[in-house]
Structure formats: C-alpha cells, structure tokens
Amino acid sequence: MVDSKPQAQAKPKTKRPQKTGRVKPAVETPGSPPAIELSDSQWYLNRELTWLAFNRRVLHEAADPRTPLLERIKFLAIVGSNLDEFFMKRIGGLKQQLAANVQELTPDGRTPRQQLTECHAQVRQLVQEKTALFRQLMKMLDDKGIQIITWRALSAKDKKSLREIYLQDVFPLLTPQSMDPAHPFPFVSNLSLNLLVTVRYPREKDVSMARIKVPLGGGVPRFIKLGRTDRYVPLEEVMAANLDMLFPGMKMVSCEFFRVTRNANTEKDEEKADDLVAMIESELQERRFAPIVRLEVAVGMDPVHRGRLAAELDLDEASDVFEVSGMLAIRDLFELARLNYPKLHDPAHHPVDPPQLPTGRNIFHVIRNAGSVLVHHPYESFVSSVERFLNEAADDPKVCAIKMTLYRTSKEGRLIKSLVRAAENGKQVAVVVELKARFDEAANLQIAERMEEAGIHVTYGVVGLKTHCKVILVVRRDYNGIRRYIHLGTGNYHSDTARLYSDLGLFTNNEQIGQDVTELFNYLTTGFSPNRNYRKLLPAPKLLKKSLLEKIEREINLHREKGGGHIQFKMNALDDADIVRKLYVACQAGVKVDLYIRDSCRFRPGVPGVSETGRVVSIVGRFLEHSRIYYFRNGGTEEYYIGSADAMKRNLESRVEILAPVELPELQARLRMLLDGHDRDQRHAWDMQPDGSYVQRQPKGDGDHAGLHQRMIDHVEHEAREARRLKRRVAKVLHR
C-alpha cells in the first residue's frame, strides 16, 4: 500500500525573508511580542512541491481498496499523465530559468535550482511508489481474468498469431534509424516510446545501434489483444520479439526501451508578432524540437547505452535520467481502464436534465422568468443546458447575435456546429478564440479556420493576455425590446470534460451583467480598456485582484465590529502571494478562512499566530473538482461569486478572467450546499497540516462512506425525480 500521508516539504536553504508584495508587515509596539513578518518565506509553501503532493493524493486513489479496480487503473494512468505534463511545463520552465541565470527567489524562498533538485527527488520517490502499485494492480487484474503478459509467457500458437497481426498492422509503420558516423542521432519526438536496438553481423564483433519508434496512436493500441480473450501483450514487446523482420540476417545483441519528454514552454512575444496565427504555428513547430527535459529508461539498460543517450540528448545523466522498473508511459493504462467490466467501475452515472430548465419550453423564456438559473456539471447535463442554449439560439428567429469565448473545446462538438448554423441563418456571430491554450493550440487553429469559413467573426483576444473566461452572450429581440441572455461558466465549453469535471454554470438575463458582458466583448475584440465600467462582474486583470484584496479587508473590518467573519474560497490552486498574505492577516484578526483547494496551495493553515483560524481541504475523487467559488459573509449580507479564475498570479494579472455574482437566495443555497459538502466529506477529503502535508479523513460511521460526489449525484437525482412527479401532478390537474 502506498503511504497515504505525503512527505512535508523540505525547508529551503535560503533563510532570509522574501518580500512578496505590497502589504506592509505588522508594526511592533513597545512591550508587545515581536510582530510576525508575513512576508517571510517560511509562511509560503512551494507551488511545484504542493502540486506533486496533489499527485500523491491521486496516487492514493489508485491504492485505495475502496476504489473499484479499473478506476484504480485510471487513477494510476492519471498520475503518469500528470507527471508528463509536469515535466513539460513546470520542469521545462525551471530549466529555462536556470539557462537564463534567473536568481529571483519564489515567495517560499527557493531558487530555480533548489526547486529543480527538490522536485526531482520527490518525483523519484513518487515513481517508485507508482511502480510498486502498478505491480499490485496487475496482479489484481490477473485475478479477475484480465492479463498483461510478456512475450515469453505466450504459447507458440499465440506467438504465431501475434506475429501475423504485427506483420499486417504494425510492421509497415516502422522506420528503424541507425546511429553511426554516417547517420546522425535521430530526432526523438515528445512522449514517444522507443526501442534502442543493438545488432551485429553474424561473423563480426562490431555492433551497430538503431532507434525504432513504437507507432502508438492512429488506431494502433499500446496493448495487443489475444483473440477474444482478455489477455494483452504490450506492443513494444511484440516489436522486440520480432526484430528479425526489420534486421534480417543480423544478430540481435540487445533491445532496450526508452522514452523522452520535451519542454512545452516555447511561447513567443506576441506583441512583436505581425501575425498571431503564424506565430502560434511557429510555436507548435518549435515545440516539436524543443529541448528534452527528461529521459526515462527501462531498468537494466546497459550503463554505456544510458550514458550515450543522455549525452546525445544533452541531459545530465545524474539528474535528468529516470530508471523505471516496469512499464514506461504508464498513461497508456487508460486503454485498460476503459474495458467494459461494469462491476470493476464506479456505478454508471447519467447526468440528469436540469429541472430548472424544463424541456418543451423556449429556454430564453425559462431564463427570463427565473431571472437566473444555476447548473452543476457533471451531475446536470451539459447537453441539455449549455449545448441546448446555443442550439436554440442558432435557430431562434428572434436571436440577432451570439458572442462567445473559446478556450478549449471539442473539434467535432455540437457547440461549433450550432455556431456555424447560426451564422448560416444570418445571425451575427463573433467568437474570441484563445490560440495559446496550452496543448490545444493546433485544435483551436483548426476550429478558428472552420468558423471563419462559415462567416463567423473570429478574433484572438487581447495582446499579451490569455482569454480564460468562459462566457456566452445571446442578444435576442423579445416582446419588449432587446434583451441579453448570458451563460457564465467555471469550466471549458467541452462536452467530454463536462462529464468528468465538476463545474458550475450561471444562466442569467440580469441587465447589469448583460451590460458588463457587452463591455467585456468590446474589450476582447478591440483591446481598448480605458473607461470601461463594470457594475456586477469582477474582471481580471483590471479589477479582480484589487477587489479580492478589498473584500478580504472588508471582512476583517466587519469581523472586528460585529464578529462572525467568514471567507471561503474553492478553486484549483492558490499561489498569489498577496492574496495568501491578506488571508493570513484575516486569520490574525480572527476571521474564519476555509480554503477548498484541489492541488497547489501556498497557504499554511493552523500555524500559531499566523493562520490558526485557517483550513485547507482537498477533494480527490471520482470527478475532477474544477469549479471556483468565492464567498464572503460580509456582515450577514452574503456574497457569492463564481468564475474560471483561480487565485493565482497568472490568472489575476496575465489573463482575461471574470467573476460573476450569484445573488438569488435559492441559487446561493445550492452553492452553500456544495461548500458544506466539502466539510461533510469523510471519503475523499484531505486536510492540510501546518507543515504542508495532508491527512485523509476516515469515515466515522456507516453514513460517512459516500463522499461529496456520490452525495451530489444522489441529490440531483432526487431533485429530478421530484420535478417529474410535480410535472405529472400538474398534467393530471390540467387534464381534468
């Protein structure tokens, strides 16, 4: 079993205080205890290390026997995928800082080199635990009749069958590349799995080396199925056992596996670009050839071969090479996690149609009558709420215009089809596409081109800022004049992730919010920001951070006057040092601070004299917690805001974001239930300790085994049943 309590972060070597913002430290008065310097680095946890701690919590889900077996396989694959992204983005960024000789300390007082060293150490430990767990889970799969077997364990008949499949479906895709004086070291693509083959002529002693890429993707699976059985052989083993086809007449000396990860931080300065689309295309090309930041090798690789690979790839063998005992590219376990064994998965979940958006009625009439409607994915259907909203807008003859932001979406999704149809129906359609959404740049370029061909007005946001807010504006000519209908979301307009991520969406025709959203789109399509007044929304980078700091200060002052101060933030990550320090000031004043942070968090809760009234809770379970909620008790006049902005420096200062108020009491009650659900969870909740480590809560009774996600499923299904009963009663009365 993997240890469920992550290690606390190692203390940084640099002990001097680190100034992290503009908030002044407390003033020491004669006869009083020394004032606590809130800018001191000791009060701030490291972003990268807390993110790795989050992955340890994900790994725990894979280790937890309460999790169904194939879901455990899924979580193991998620850990592998997350680590790949961590090296591409975070380790890649740290290496760039080292190359640029950056000496600036983080809020926690670490240099880039210190962070890199500590991250590597944590990753090596995590990889060891992941490998040990992989072996356990493979044995458990075997007990269920699902086998991952080696070539050596196959019968002669099975080997012959696989050789025929290999010859037909894989062999034509292979391109062996020699490595000798006549052939330079070949290009190795990012995240590719490779064979390093050593061969020689039968009567010669000199050996030659070649690299062969495992051709995964494009219909080629990682695991080759044996007939109709649930026995699978990894593709690389099939390739290694049939090298005689690629090297006929040669003697096979060795065959070893390796994998590389390249830096994904190749962003250029768009302010100097004449053509943003051309710049993004250039970035994507450069990313293919970006420096390699990690080499993974299978255990047992010849030390000489390992050293040669490291040298050819320009890596430090001691720090950048990771030896893996077991399976490389463990993210490919997603293939197995999708096997159709209902008893080895979580119970099937089918999102319900939101009762507050009844079918059979015009959705704009429903929103107009309600004022505002709140939906919660994946418990409530994305298809019958967001997709329906755009679908009806495309065909409604009274709709004049549609405006929308797109950060990540599906290339073949119904949202794009609705936008195209709206343009074909003569409506004005404008879409702000974020071309620099990491790892979705190519897809967004294709989507933008497709929409432009359909006559949609496509723009790419504001120079120097990523457009991360999620908003749709529909302008409709109602019976009493022009009205604006808005959707504001916490997650991407992506139908696939809407079934996996926990997100919120607000539909409203609030006039002031409509005016604010109009101002927002005018800003996004022109880049002109002076004299834009926002009445309800809190936009970044102009107002959001300033407003949050002011609202925390207001909570402090109201608590000093009346007591009962309470702040609750729910988000993915918290790393902005100014926000963290202001929350410490609130704790020192006695304000209760509850932080529901999924992964990275600089805030240390429960520290005497600093954050005794603060808590940090992380939920890791069936769905990815992705919604953002900001709550202030405000002396009893409660405020709730939702949006896609985490309290991170990049979101608050380098992105276009918005927080939207949720003001109707019945909608606030739904948000209150969600926040309270984090406190009730005894299944998936982890409490951060003052040193930055986490401890998972344990059920105290039979009723505690259902975590937040199952409780939410049960709640929305109950609401849907009650809505159907009410509808039937009304129908009977009308029929009489």
Instruction: Give the largest Cα separation in the chain, rounded.
Output: 98
CA distances from 315 to 93, 256, 292, 321, 481 (A): 15, 19, 8, 8, 65
CA distances from 525 to 420, 462, 519 (A): 19, 7, 10
435: helix, strand or coil: coil
Rounded Cα gap, residues 456 and 408, in angstroms: 18
Rounded Cα gap, residues 702 and 227, in angstroms: 44
685: helix, strand or coil: strand
Residue 603 DSSP code: B
Q: Which of 501, 544, 522 is nearest to 712 (CA)?
A: 501
Query: Do the strands 470-478 and 466-467 form a parallel or antiparallel pair, or are they unpaired?
Result: unpaired
Distance of CA 504 to the CA centre of its chain: 16
Q: Which of 280, 266, 284, 264 is nearest to 448 (CA)?
A: 280
Rounded Cα gap, residues 274 and 461, in angstroms: 15
Query: Residue 409 is encoded by which pair of tokens?
Result: 């979406």
Q: Which amino acid is at 731?
A: A
CA distances from 393 to 234, 279, 408, 474, 665 (A): 48, 34, 21, 7, 28
CA distances from 543 to 254, 323, 336, 488, 551 (A): 61, 48, 47, 18, 12
CA 84, 87, 88: angle at the middle one, nearest 5?
85
CA distances from 126 to 20, 61, 165, 454, 630 (A): 30, 14, 36, 48, 33
Tokens 């077997």 — which residue? 149
Q: Please count the CA atoms within 13 angstroms of the CA of 72 that sit on its side-chain side.
A: 23
Q: Of how many residues is the chain composed?
A: 736
Distance of CA 208 to the CA centre of its chain: 43
**Cβ atoms of residues 68 and 344 within 8 Å:** yes
- Tell me the DSSP string of 363-378: HHHHHHHHSEEEEEET
**Cβ atoms of residues 383 and 417 within 8 Å:** no
Q: Which residues are catalytic?
A: 468
Q: Which amino acid is at 352?
A: V
Rounded Cα gap, residues 555 and 419, in angstroms: 43
Rounded Cα gap, residues 489 and 407, in angstroms: 12
Q: Which residues contact 481 (CB under 8 A, 6 or more apart)?
A: none
Q: Which of 23, 104, 10 is nearest to 49 (CA)?
A: 10
**Which pairs from 583-588 meet CB under 8 Å and 24+ separation?**
583/552, 583/611, 583/614, 584/38, 584/43, 584/610, 584/611, 584/614, 585/23, 585/38, 585/552, 585/556, 586/552, 586/555, 586/556, 586/559, 587/611, 587/612, 587/613, 587/614, 588/26, 588/36
